[in-house]
Structure formats: C-alpha cells, structure tokens
Amino acid sequence: MALKNFEKLALAYALKNALSHDGKCQQSSVLSALFNEGLKKNEVGKHAKTISEIVRDVNSLNIEEQEKEFENLKSLISEREGREGLSELPNVPKTGVIMRFAPSASGPLHVGHAMTASLSFLYVRKYGGKFYIRIEDTNPENIYPPAYKMIENEAGWLFSNEPEVLIQSYRMEIYYDYIKKLLKKNAVYVCTCSSEFFEKYAEQMKNCPCRNLKSDDNLERWNKMLSKNGFKPGEAVLRFKSPKGMKEKNPAFRDFPLARINLTPHILQKDKYRVWPLMNLAVAVDDVELGITHAIRGKDHIDNARKQEMIHKSLEKKSPWTGFLGRFNFKDMDLSTTKMRIAIEDGKYSGWDDSRLPTIAALKKKGYNPQAFWKFAEQIGLSEKDKTMDKKDFFLLLDNFNKI
C-alpha cells in the first residue's frame, strides 16, 4: 500500500472506530480493519508509528470534529467494511438458513477452522435455522482417530453445543443410493483405464473409451467395484461425465473421479465398505440431503464448489449459495495438524493443548472465550481477500476481542 493512501485509509478507519466508541478509537481495531484491507505483515512495522500517531490525533478531536473529518473520508471505506455486524446473505428463506461446517477427520480444530465455522454459526444465529458440524471421513487413509472426539468437544465449546454433529462414514448407504441414481441417469461411468492412459486422454482432450459405455454396462461394472471378487484397488474408478468431457477448459473438471476402491480398514467402519466416495461426491450428496441453503468455505474450494454444482445439476437439485473466504496466511505459524501431530509425537509439545499451539484445545485452556472468535470472524466478514499476518498480530487482535 502506498504511504499516502495508507494514511488516508488508516485515518478513515480510526475516525469510524472513534465515532462508534464515544469518540475514543482503539489502535487494535484500526489494525484489524487494515489487515482486512490487505495490509501485509511485513508492512506492520513500517506503519506502526504512523498508525499510533493517527489514533492519538483522532482521539484528541471532539466528536463534531471527528464527524466532519469522517464525512470527507468515508467513501474510502467500502460498503461492506463500513458496516457494523454481518452483511446480509442473499436468498434467505423465511424459515432461516441451513449451514454446515465440514472439517475432515484428519486432525483437531485450529484457529483457521474457528474463523470459518464461526461465520456460519453467526449467520444461523442471525437468521435462525440449523447448523451442522459434518465430520468428513470418507478417506480411510486420512483419519486421525482422536479427531472425532476432539472436533465434537471443541465445536461444542465454540458454538454452545448448538450444532448437530454428523459423521459421513455412517452415511455410506446414502452415497451409494445417489451413485445408483447417477448411474441410471447415465451421468457417471466406471472407468477402467490406467491413470496413465486417462491422463493421456485428458491431455489430448479426447474422451476415454469408457465414457461411451451404456448405463447397464456401467451398472455391471459398478457392482464389480463393490464385489470382493470384482475389481481390485486402482483397476476401476467411478467418474463424473462433465458437460464438456475432456474438452473442459479447466483440466480439473475433465471427468473428475467420484468414488474409488480403498481397502484400508476404516477406523469406524472397519472393512464394511470397499468403495469410498471422494470428497466432491460426499459433499454434493450431503449438501442436498441436509438441505444446506448457504455454505461458507475457504477460497481453495472454488473448483470443488463448481464440480459439486455440476453434480447437483445432473441430479436436478439446487446447489447451496456459496461464500468463499480468503486465506489466513501466517508467516510464522503453521496450521498443518499433521506437522503439529509429528511435533507432539517427537516431544516438542506436551499435547494438543500445549499453550504454544494454535489449536482450539490450547486456546480454550489459555482462557479465550468462544465469543472472541465470533467477534473476530464477524469483523472480517465474508471477505475473499487473503490476509497475511504474523502470530503476534493475530493474537493481538484476538486478545482485543477476548476483552470486549
């Protein structure tokens, strides 16, 4: 951000904050608004002095003077940023919204999860409706067994035990039913090409021969996927027929996979199932089955949301309205639960609630209130902007929300 623009923006936010707090502006609120505008971590040091001077100047004005100055600058603050509270969601039914937060069972919840989930929770509170925590565990290879209980406990704590918790692997028959529907509609096919061959077809934008199979042949192949004496892992995969097939511009959309054989024993279902739905199928089905009206998810799910819309279209179902959130980039804080787990196993941390970790378990133990996360999430709102900050600044803001 150029210094001149930056100063003006900081002044606008300082005045806005002062005017909504009896003429007294808080530096951390200005900082959080500026992060929201894309202020980068490496710029904080450079601007810290300027921000505190602006805050001091604003606080030395009386309210009339603040109002006058704000009039000149308020156009700098976008409508969304200028609002207090949550922005409105589109197409809200009279009965309220049905939303979900869908963490995978690969690890416990951390601050990143808390920010996304809090926003959905707040919208359900605002409009009424229902909030689900859906634990996504249809990849038997990517499950951390203690995560089930931890997610349930931590989400319960964060959201006053209001959400209903669901576990996808108990819903397998539902996914199989939908696969049958899709097979009948000839909207999917069982592909037996090796991945090497399929990739070649995809590269050349030519449909693979399996795409032309008749619905009955696909049904027979599907049964062979399900049968113990049928296909082996890797020999067959269920694929979606994308509208433009291999001619889809985005390679990710070219007849993407929906289900595969995986014989890794599942921690909850043991060896009950040999064919597992992939994320896009399980999510698309559950969002329909649960009647999800609005979904808020990370920006990294943009392509997935598009794939799920394609699946919904084939099923003649409506897709939820989807809002995407920008990423939180922490330069000096890793949110990978896999890395945290390894470090815990190596004895670097005492456990998931070690006070140095950014997990919800640790923050709860440190004395944070769930409301601190809600307020932080509300302040950021439905913003697609990525935010870069370091741990210190993030916790400065969270501490501030913890006090209010």
| Residues of this chain that bind ligand GLU (CB under 6 A) | 102-104, 136, 279, 283, 297, 301
The CB-of-103 to ligand GLU minimum distance in angstroms stands at: 5
Measured from the CB of residue 242, what is the shortest distance to ligand GLU in angstroms?
19
In which element (H, E) is residue 343 found? Answer: helix 337-345
Tell which residue, 285, 319, 267, 84, has the closest CA to residue 173: 285
Of the two residues 234 and 291, which places its CB atom closer to ligand GLU in the complex?
291
Q: Which is nearer to ligand GLU, 29 or 168 (CB)?
A: 168
Nearest in space to 295 (alpha carbons), one of 171, 151, 132, 95 = 132
Give the count of alpha carbons within 13 A of 343, CB side only.
16
CB of 121 to ligand GLU, least distance (A): 14
Measured from the CB of residue 186, what is the shortest distance to ligand GLU in angstroms? 26
Q: At 130, phi and psi to the nearest 5? A: -145, 145
**C-alpha of 298 from chain center:** 4
Residue with smaller CB distance to ligand GLU, 27 or 104? 104
- CB-nearer residue toward ligand GLU: 225 or 296: 296
For the CB of residue 331, give the shortest distance to ligand GLU in the complex, in Å: 22
Of 44 and 284, the one with the shorter C-beta distance to ligand GLU is 284
Return d(Cα 339, Cα 136) in angstroms, integer: 20
Q: Select 274 or 297, whichever has its Cβ closest to ligand GLU.
A: 297
Q: Are 134 and 166 in contact (CB under 8 A)?
A: yes
367 and 399 Cβ atoms separated by less than 8 Å: no
Rounded CA gap, 13 and 17, in Å?
6
Question: 322 with 297: CB under 8 angstroms?
Answer: yes
Least separation in angstroms between residue 301's CB and ligand GLU is 5
